[in-house]
C-alpha cells in the first residue's frame, strides 16, 4: 500500500506544479478599448503605461471612426471601454443602454487643413478648398471630423465638393500624405503627428466646430475594474499630460 500511496502523492504533486505553471503563463486580465482613430498615438502610449502599472494585464485597442465603433458596440462587439471623438456618438451608446456610468469628457480637438508637404496648391484659407480643380478629402458626415466639417461649411457659407469621404480621420490624412489629394481636413493632433509629411494650414473658422471627446466604461465590460482604472488614467494627470503634449485641448 505504501508504494501505491507514494506514487499517488507524487502524481498529485506533479499535476499541481503543472497547473501552477500553466496559470502563471496566462495573462491575468484582458482589457479591450474601442477608441476614435485620432487617439491612436496617445492611447497606444497610455496603453503601454497601463500594462506597466498593471502587470499581467494586456490592453487591446480597436481604433476606428467613432460612428463605426458605436455601431459595433451596440451590435454586441465585446469591449470594456469606449472613447469617442464627439459627444453625439457617445450619446448613441448611452441611448442604447451600452454604458455603465456617466461618460467623462477628457479632451478637445479642432480641425485644420493639411496639404502635401510644401503646400504645392498654395492653399491659405478654408474658401481655397472650394477652388475649381482642387481635390479635397474629408471625413464622412457621420464621423465626428465630418460633422465638424459640415459645421464649418455652414458657418462660412463655403460648400466643399470632396473627391472622397472617409470613415476615419486617419484615412483622410493617408490620402494627403500619399499624394492622392491636394488637401484634407483633419484634427490638429493628426497634422502634428505627420508634420514631416504634410503642411498644416490653420483657419480661424475651425473654432466654430470644436469636438469634445468623452470616455466611459461599457455595461458589458468583462473587466470592469480594469476598465475604470484605464478611464482614470486617461482623465487623470498622467493621461492629460500625454494628450496635451499631442496637441489636444482640455475639455
Q: How far apart are CA 41 and CA 37, in angstroms?
A: 9
Orientation angle between helical segments 237-245 and 40-53, nearest 10 degrees: 150
**Residues 111 and 148: beta-carbon distance below 8 Å:** yes
Q: Which three-class secondary structure string do you get for the chain?
A: CHHHHHHHHHHHHHHHHHHHHHHHHCCCEEEEEEEEHHHHHHHHHHHHHHHHHCCCEEEEEEEECHHHHHHHHHCCCCCCEEECCCHHHHHHHHHCCCECCCCEEEEEECEEEEEECCCCCCCCCCHHHHCCCCCEEEECCCCHHHHHHHHHHHHHCCCCCCCEEECCHHHHHHHHHCCCCCEEEEEHHHHHHCCCCEEEECCHHHHHHCEEEEEEEECCCCCHHHHHHHHHHHHCHHHHHHHHHCCCECC
Cell, residue 175? 490620402
Binding residues for molybdate: 38, 66, 169, 187
Binding residues: 38, 66, 169, 187
Amino acid at each position: 500500500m505504501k508504494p501505491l500511496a507514494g506514487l499517488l502523492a507524487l502524481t498529485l504533486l506533479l499535476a499541481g506544479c503543472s497547473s501552477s505553471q500553466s496559470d502563471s503563463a496566462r495573462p491575468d486580465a484582458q482589457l479591450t478599448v474601442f477608441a476614435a482613430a485620432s487617439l491612436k498615438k496617445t492611447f497606444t502610449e497610455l496603453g503601454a503605461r497601463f500594462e506597466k502599472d498593471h502587470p499581467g494585464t494586456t490592453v487591446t485597442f480597436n481604433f476606428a471612426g467613432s460612428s463605426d465603433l458605436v455601431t459595433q458596440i451596440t451590435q454586441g462587439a465585446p469591449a470594456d471601454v469606449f472613447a469617442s471623438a464627439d459627444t453625439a456618438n457617445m450619446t448613441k451608446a448611452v441611448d442604447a443602454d451600452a454604458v455603465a456610468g456617466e461618460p467623462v469628457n477628457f479632451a478637445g480637438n479642432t480641425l485644420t487643413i493639411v496639404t502635401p508637404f510644401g503646400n504645392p496648391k498654395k492653399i491659405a484659407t478654408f474658401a481655397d478648398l472650394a477652388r475649381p480643380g482642387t481635390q479635397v478629402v474629408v471625413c464622412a458626415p457621420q464621423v465626428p471630423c465630418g460633422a465638424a466639417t459640415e459645421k464649418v461649411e455652414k458657418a462660412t457659407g463655403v460648400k466643399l465638393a470632396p473627391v472622397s469621404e472617409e470613415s476615419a480621420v486617419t484615412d483622410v490624412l493617408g490620402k494627403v500624405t500619399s499624394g492622392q489629394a491636394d488637401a484634407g481636413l483633419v484634427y490638429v493632433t493628426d497634422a502634428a503627428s505627420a508634420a514631416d509629411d504634410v503642411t498644416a494650414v490653420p483657419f480661424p473658422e475651425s473654432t466654430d466646430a470644436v469636438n469634445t471627446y468623452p470616455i466611459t466604461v461599457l455595461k458589458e465590460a468583462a473587466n470592469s475594474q480594469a476598465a475604470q482604472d484605464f478611464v482614470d488614467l486617461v482623465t487623470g494627470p498622467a493621461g492629460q499630460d500625454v494628450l496635451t503634449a499631442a496637441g489636444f485641448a482640455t475639455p
